[in-house]
Structure 1
Amino acid sequence: MMKKFILILLVVLLGQQAVNAQKAVKVFVVRHAEKVVDDPKAKDPELSPGGAERAVDLMKYLKGEKVDSIYTTNYKRTKLTAFPLADKIGIAIKTYDPSEQKALAKQLITHATGKKILIVGHSNTVLEIIEAFGTARPVKELTDDDYDYIFEITVKGTKADVKFNRYGKSHHSEEGTKKEMKSAN
């Protein structure tokens, strides 16, 4: 009787692992919204009015995605970018250290199967986050004016894919966007 129970338990556990292996982790990565630039010495500025508007645009963009977790760096501008969505769906924002992006990516790939995650970073960390999930950079660089990109990474098993789009007020011409999309493909 005990052998039969152990065998059934083993079959159930293996079946659950197979189901989890087929589920993807979906990660949305954005740069923080526009910040106040009045004081160039300010190390932790708030969002500008345009940045606050973009944060609401991000919430609207992701409202149907059923985001399970939100990660930001420990800066006002990243937290305020994520706040409208976190408030709307009723979840707490978790912070991560930008120097530990690879560890965060590994943790999410391993433990967040079937989940949807938002990560808010900075112009000099977003592309590194994308690479930490095992994909190539979909754009060459992010400039100080690039606030409207949203990157969608899907990791299923050992395969990772990334796509990008834009949200909120555009910082780019339509022709430039078409060139970029062609070069990413």
Structure 2
Amino acid sequence: MKRLLLAAAISALTAASAMAQTVIIVRHGEKADASADPVLSDAGQARALALAEHLNDAHPSVILTSPLQRTRLTAAPTAEHHSVTSEAVPLDGGPGPHVAAIVARVRSLPQDATVLIVGHSNTVPLIARALGYADAADMPECEYDRVTTLHLMGDAAHGMVSRYGAPSTCPAA
């Protein structure tokens, strides 16, 4: 009986130490225009729906966006599907303080949390790097289909990049 209890305790400790936060980082969908705070275009709305479908099994418990419409509108179908309220993280002070606030919020969450972050072309790579994923590539202005998925265990971050929705149409380099 003691051996069984000891084995169960060791198993529970091993499982707890193997827990990792899952952080999914995307850029907002395509914009309707070049104004300061545009809504999503038809393609952007389709991308927001595609994101919800892509994350159907991910079950985010927290969704973080910037306060701009395009990030909130991109997150909305996923938030509705999973009954989660999006949290807008202020942009006060520019990208640096915004990224720091996002990282602090992620780090404050339980080890088993799944977080969706909807950012911008200039913040998505910065957020991934700040969370420990050094391989995060810069994002061109024409790229909308990148999904960076990180698994955080302490200070270590393991990540992968995938695509969702319609392919971005960036000109060949």
Q: Shorter-chain TM-score: what band? A: 0.7 to 0.9
Whole-Å separation in 1 of the counterparts to 2:25 and 2:40: 18
Tell me which structure has the larger Cα radius of gyration.
1
Q: Is the 8 A contact 1:22 1:157 kept in 2?
A: no
1:13-67 Cα shifts (integer Å, max 9, x gaps): xx98875443100000000000012xx3x21000000000000000000011111
Whole-Å separation in 2 of the counterparts to 1:104 and 1:21: 24
- How many residues of Structure 1 are paired with residues of Structure 2 in the alignment? 157
Provide the alpha-carbon RMSD of the alignment: 2.2
Residues 110 and 93 of structure 1: is their aligned pair in 2 closer, same or farther, counting only changes over 3 Å? closer
Q: Unaligned 5+ residue runs, structure 1?
A: 1-11, 177-185
Whole-Å separation in 2 of the counterparts to 1:106 and 1:64: 25
Residues 95 and 18 of structure 1: is their aligned pair in 2 closer, same or farther, counting only changes over 3 Å? farther
Q: Which deviates further from its counterpart, 110-119 or 17-26?
A: 17-26
**Which structure shows the higher helix fraction?**
1
Secondary structure of the corresponding residue to residue 111 of structure 1: coil
Q: TM-score, normalised on structure 2?
A: 0.82
Opposite residue 58 of structure 1, the aligned amino acid is L
Secondary structure of the corresponding residue to residue 118 of structure 2: strand
Secondary structure of the corresponding residue to residue 87 of structure 2: strand
* Structure 1 segments of 4+ aligned residues over 4 angstroms from their partners: 15-20
Secondary structure of the corresponding residue to residue 26 of structure 2: strand
Residues 143 and 52 of structure 1: is their aligned pair in 2 closer, same or farther, counting only changes over 3 Å? same
Of the three residues 15, 21, 32, the one matched with 2:28 is 32
Deviation at 1:152, TM superposition (A): 0.2
Deviation at 1:158, TM superposition (A): 2.7
**Do structure 1's residue 157 and structure 2's residue 154 form an aligned pair?**
yes
Q: Is the 8 A contact 1:26 1:116 kept in 2?
A: yes
Q: Is the 8 A contact 1:26 1:115 kept in 2?
A: yes
Q: Unaligned 5+ residue runs, structure 2?
A: 1-8, 92-96
Deviation at 1:159, TM superposition (A): 1.6
Of the three residues 107, 110, 118, the one matched with 1:120 is 118
Whole-Å separation in 2 of the counterparts to 1:157 and 1:123: 26
Q: TM-score, normalised on structure 1?
A: 0.77
